[in-house]
């Protein structure tokens, strides 16, 4: 009897657990660490955008007033940033829940007003601590701070103008990696809460003490990770041929970035953009193509970032460097996929792969270094888009009309100048891009 | 005249002589005239641009309120510029755009919006640096349920098909905030060349709330914004090419493609011109990294794609 009761209770518990648990598909994807580039220009522009948002809240931002150059709300004036007040520090905060700790005026009423207003802004909740915080601005540092991550100029501690940023010096990046939700559309921006501190430059005030202004704003940032590009390709391009073809290239890009082969990465990125442009609008909807192109350039910008403290040639591998001297970050020829050899570092802090030896066996179905593909028995020199028997991907000039190709050699697929809408002339196939070359087609007058 | 003056000179004038100064002024005047010639420029807009326009302009107006003075204010939870009120479409999902009108130059704008809104508008637009252009402007739309508005004062505008009787079918709202498909094209004779940058075009955006009575329009609000728009046309592409650090071979090749597009456009074949512009984008993409730095390639490709779409309207 006792055993049967225990069994019944166990079954009931199982049933309850099952009933309470949503279906697997309903679970949101787990949060993921992503890299963001916060531009100095973005920071300065965020003041105006936030002010406009606060105005649009109407009665929900009670007490908001217009002041010259911006607004005053909850005891804080957001005006003249980059102009009268030069940027002295930027803190990326975790969300509106931090206001009670950071704004203690009026017995918490100001903090409540800010929490309410910014709570309506759709801020992205992210999970501290942020990592990899760096900046390419001289005289600025990055460090974890209470409720977020802070980028600060030396001016704050040195009591001078060191590093203060105005609208005229709006170049520069604050970079950080934060764990954010991933259940957003591909290429969508994440909205971060910022706390800005601005200071008047010493020349503005003469011997008078520095003027200081604190202000909360928000900024929309798209991650610069290649994962976003992968999602953009897979989720926004509707044509399966284009999508699958580019997805393969994105995989190649990811592999190149994994082994820090930036030269190949750059080539692949140019390829992706080129072929997307070539297929628009016939096979790629223009708005979707533009988003993917932007995604590629976002990744490219991410690779361009060099922290102000990084020095190529100091023997330590830093952000933006594949290697530095003998510091290869643990990479060897074999870890990258070569059979053997010695990996070296170029003076430009890029790997030199010429000392690596590849020993691939084409046709064994295993992708080895030196091979672009290997589909084993499926390798073919006659099937469109198949891996060729040389273990090279299908290419223009392989005598097969592949994806992204209009023609090959003299095979124009029956098209002529006339069928393309011209009055006559001689249609050719571009030997480099395998596209119709209509320069010799006649335009009737 | 400059040539005649030079022919009459027996020797090169010294650097600070009056003759040299006169020559310098003449050269400046000659170039100044060239840049001041009005040229037809093309601008394209997507629903997302229109939906976000009040917020973007609100940000700009608030940031510049110190110099704009009483031209900018707050009214009913929105930014007021001149006498137009710009409620946010992103903050109020019930509010929708039903009409968009390009306003003439600061002096022509009041003719489009009428006396009540136009009072003080010239001064406001001058203060904020709105572009001047000469009439007539023209436009085209491929946005579903939208038509080109009857031109007022040789300007151009767009309305929903049912604008006159309050039918909001096709009106644009918050749900279009990420719709980047280009739906509206405007051609304007700009007085000055924006080069690789943007032109500040004054636009009146009519927004309205849902109608309370069947067959009658909802409450309408007129918002005047000054939007920073990059031209999407061949001169813009040429400016981008000329501003980029390219070898003469690359520059000549890209300019050759643009010249071909120009030729087709002059012959009244915009589709062929569009194909050439796409070829331009492709060639830029293929030369990115090797011949064209990515920071210069990106705007060229994006602008070329927009220009090709504008030509395909």
Instruction: Give this complex's ipTM.
Output: 0.83
Conformation bin of residue A132: beta by default, left when phi > 0, alpha when psi is -120 to 50? left
How high is the pLDDT of residue B37?
Answer: 56
CA distance A338 to chain B (A): 26
In angstroms, what CA-CA distances link A262 with A183, A267, A294, A338, B297? 30, 9, 19, 17, 18
Number of H helices, E strands in chain B: 11, 11
Query: Given CA atoms A122, A126, A131, A132 in this order, what sign does their dihedral have?
Result: negative
End-to-end CA distance of chain A: 99
Distance of CA B57 to the CA centre of its chain: 14
pLDDT of A218-242, one tens digit each? Answer: 999 999 999 999 999 999 999 988 8
Token pair of B56, please?
Answer: 């973007």
In the sheet with B78-81, reading across from the earlier edge strand, the strands are B72-75, B78-81, B84-86
Residue identified by tokens 């990420």 is B178
* Contact with chain A for residue B63, Cβ under 8 A: yes
Distance of CA A331 to the CA centre of its chain: 24
List CB contacts (< 8 A) between A68 and chain B.
Answer: 65-66
Distance CA B71, CA B123 (A): 9
Token pair of A211, please?
Answer: 């003027």
> CB distance B288–A270 less than 8 Å?
yes
- Residue A306 or A92, more confident: A92
List CB contacts (< 8 A) between A301 and chain B.
Answer: 294
Instruction: Give the residue on A whose Cα is nearest the Cα of B307.
Output: A286
**Bond from prior residue into A281 cis (ω within 30 degrees of 0):** yes
For residue B125, give every residue at least 6 positions away whose Cβ sits within 8 Å of its Cβ, in sequence order, or none. B82, B103, B105, B106, B109, B202, B226
* Contact with chain B for residue A285, Cβ under 8 A: yes
SS3 category, B135 = strand
* Contact with chain A for residue B181, Cβ under 8 A: yes
- Provide the pLDDT confidence category of residue A267 given band limits of 50, 70 and 90: confident
SS3 category, B171 = coil
Half-sphere exposure of B255 (CA within 13 A, CB side): 14
Distance CA A78, CA A31 (A): 32
Q: What is the DSSP string of A114-153?
A: HHHHHHTTTPPP-EEEEEEEEE-STTEEEEEETTEEEEEE
Token pair of A321, please?
Answer: 């460097």
pLDDT of A11-48, one tens digit each? Answer: 444 444 444 444 445 567 789 999 999 999 999 999 99
Instruction: Give the residue on B whose Cα is nearest the Cα of A57.
Output: B77
Among A56, A281, A289, whose Cβ lies nearest the Cβ of B88?
A56
Among A57, A270, A281, whose Cβ lies nearest the Cβ of B91?
A57
Query: Given CA atoms B262, A282, B100, A122 in this order, what sign does their dihedral have?
Result: negative
* Contact with chain A for residue B293, Cβ under 8 A: no
Among B63, B180, B281, whose Cβ lies nearest the Cβ of A70?
B63
Q: Judged by CB atoms within 8 Å, which residues 52-71 of A form the interface with B?
A: 52-53, 55-59, 64, 66-71
List CB contacts (< 8 A) between A266 and chain B.
Answer: 289
CA distance A42 to chain B (A): 13
Cα A205–A83–B65 angle (5° rounding)?
115
- Considering the entire predicted model, what is its pTM? 0.81
> Residue A400 in contact with residue A384, Cβ under 8 Å?
yes
Q: Judged by CB atoms within 8 Å, which residues 88-147 of B form the interface with A?
A: 88, 90-92
* Contact with chain B for residue A184, Cβ under 8 A: no
Using N-to-C axis directions, what is the helix angle for B270-287 and B248-266, rounded to 10°? 170
pLDDT one digit per residue (tens) for chain B, 313 residues: 333 344 444 444 444 454 444 444 444 444 444 444 568 999 999 999 999 999 999 999 999 999 998 899 998 889 999 989 999 999 999 999 999 999 887 777 888 888 778 888 898 999 999 998 888 889 999 999 999 987 677 789 999 999 988 889 999 999 999 999 999 999 999 988 999 999 999 999 999 999 888 778 889 999 999 999 999 999 999 999 999 999 999 999 999 999 999 998 998 889 889 988 988 998 899 888 889 999 999 999 999 999 999 998 8
Supply the Cα-derived Rg of chain B in whole angstroms.
23
> Residue A207 in contact with residue A194, Cβ under 8 Å?
no
* Contact with chain A for residue B251, Cβ under 8 A: no
């Amino acid at each position: 009897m006792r055993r049967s009761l225990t069994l019944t209770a166990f079954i009931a518990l199982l049933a309850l657990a099952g009933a309470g648990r949503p279906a697997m598909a309903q679970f949101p994807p787990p949060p993921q660490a992503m890299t963001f580039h916060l531009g100095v220009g973005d920071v300065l522009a965020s003041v105006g955008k936030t002010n406009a948002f606060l105005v649009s809240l109407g009665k929900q931002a009670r007490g908001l007033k217009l002041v010259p150059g911006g607004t005053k709300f909850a005891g804080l004036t957001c005006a003249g940033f980059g102009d009268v007040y030069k940027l002295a520090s930027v803190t990326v905060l975790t969300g509106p829940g931090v206001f009670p700790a950071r704004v203690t005026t009026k017995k918490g009423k100001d903090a409540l007003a800010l929490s309410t207003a910014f709570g309506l802004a759709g801020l992205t909740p992210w999970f501290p601590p942020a990592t990899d915080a760096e900046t390419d601005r001289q005289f600025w540092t990055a460090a974890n701070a209470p409720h977020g991550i802070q980028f600060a100029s030396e001016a704050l501690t040195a009591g001078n103008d060191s590093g203060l940023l105005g609208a005229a010096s709006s170049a520069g990046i604050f970079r950080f990696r934060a764990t954010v939700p991933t259940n957003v559309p591909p290429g969508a921006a994440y909205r971060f809460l910022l706390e800005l501190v601005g200071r008047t430059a010493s020349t503005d005030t003469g011997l008078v003490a520095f003027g200081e202004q604190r202000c909360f704003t928000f900024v929309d940032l798209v991650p610069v990770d290649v994962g976003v590009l992968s999602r953009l390709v897979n989720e926004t391009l509707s044509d399966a041929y284009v999508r699958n073809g580019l997805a393969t290239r994105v995989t190649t890009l990811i592999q190149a970035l994994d082994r820090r082969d930036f030269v190949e990465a750059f080539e692949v990125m140019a390829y992706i953009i080129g072929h997307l442009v070539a297929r628009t609008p016939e096979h790629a909807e223009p708005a979707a193509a533009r988003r993917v192109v932007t995604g590629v350039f976002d990744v490219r910008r991410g690779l361009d970032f060099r922290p102000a403290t990084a020095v190529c040639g100091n023997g330590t591998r830093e952000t933006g460097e594949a290697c530095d001297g003998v510091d290869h970050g643990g990479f060897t020829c074999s870890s990258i996929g070569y059979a053997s050899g010695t990996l070296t570092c170029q003076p430009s802090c890029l790997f030199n792969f010429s000392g690596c030896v590849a020993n691939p066996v084409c046709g064994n179905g295993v992708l080895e270094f030196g091979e672009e593909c290997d589909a084993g028995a499926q390798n073919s020199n006659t099937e469109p888009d198949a891996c060729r028997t040389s273990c090279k991907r299908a290419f223009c000039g392989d005598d097969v009309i592949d994806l992204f190709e209009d023609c090959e050699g003299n095979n124009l697929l029956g098209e002529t100048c006339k069928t393309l809408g011209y009055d006559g002339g001689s249609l050719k196939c571009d030997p480099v891009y395998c596209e119709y070359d209509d320069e010799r087609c006649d335009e009737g007058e | 005249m400059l040539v005649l003056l030079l022919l009459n000179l027996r020797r090169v004038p010294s650097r600070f002589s009056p003759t040299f100064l006169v020559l310098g002024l003449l050269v400046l005047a000659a170039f100044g005239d060239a840049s001041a010639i009005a040229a037809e420029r093309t601008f394209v807009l997507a629903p997302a641009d229109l939906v976000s326009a009040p917020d973007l302009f609100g940000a700009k107006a608030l940031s510049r309120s110190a110099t704009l003075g009483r031209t900018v204010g707050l009214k009913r939870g929105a930014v007021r510029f001149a006498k137009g009120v710009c409620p946010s479409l992103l903050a109020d999902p019930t509010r929708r755009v039903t009409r968009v009108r390009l306003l003439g130059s600061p002096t022509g704008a009041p003719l489009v919006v009428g006396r009540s809104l136009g009072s003080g508008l010239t001064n406001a637009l001058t203060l904020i640096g709105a572009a001047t252009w000469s009439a007539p402007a023209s436009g085209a739309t491929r946005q579903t349920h939208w038509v080109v508005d009857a031109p007022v004062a040789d300007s151009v505008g767009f309305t929903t098909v049912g604008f006159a009787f309050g039918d909001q079918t096709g009106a644009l709202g918050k749900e279009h905030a990420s719709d980047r498909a280009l739906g509206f094209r405007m051609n304007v004779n700009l007085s000055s060349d924006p080069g690789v940058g943007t032109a500040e075009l004054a636009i009146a955006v009519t927004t309205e709330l849902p109608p309370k009575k069947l067959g009658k329009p909802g409450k309408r609000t007129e918002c005047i914004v000054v939007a920073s728009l990059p031209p999407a046309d061949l001169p813009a592409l040429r400016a981008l090419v000329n501003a980029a650090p390219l070898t003469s071979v690359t520059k000549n090749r890209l300019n050759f493609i643009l010249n071909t597009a120009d030729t087709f456009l002059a012959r009244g074949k915009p589709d062929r011109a569009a194909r050439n512009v796409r070829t331009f984008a492709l060639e830029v993409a293929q030369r990115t990294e090797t011949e064209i730095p990515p920071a210069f390639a990106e705007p060229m490709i994006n602008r070329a794609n927009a220009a090709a779409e504008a030509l395909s309207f």
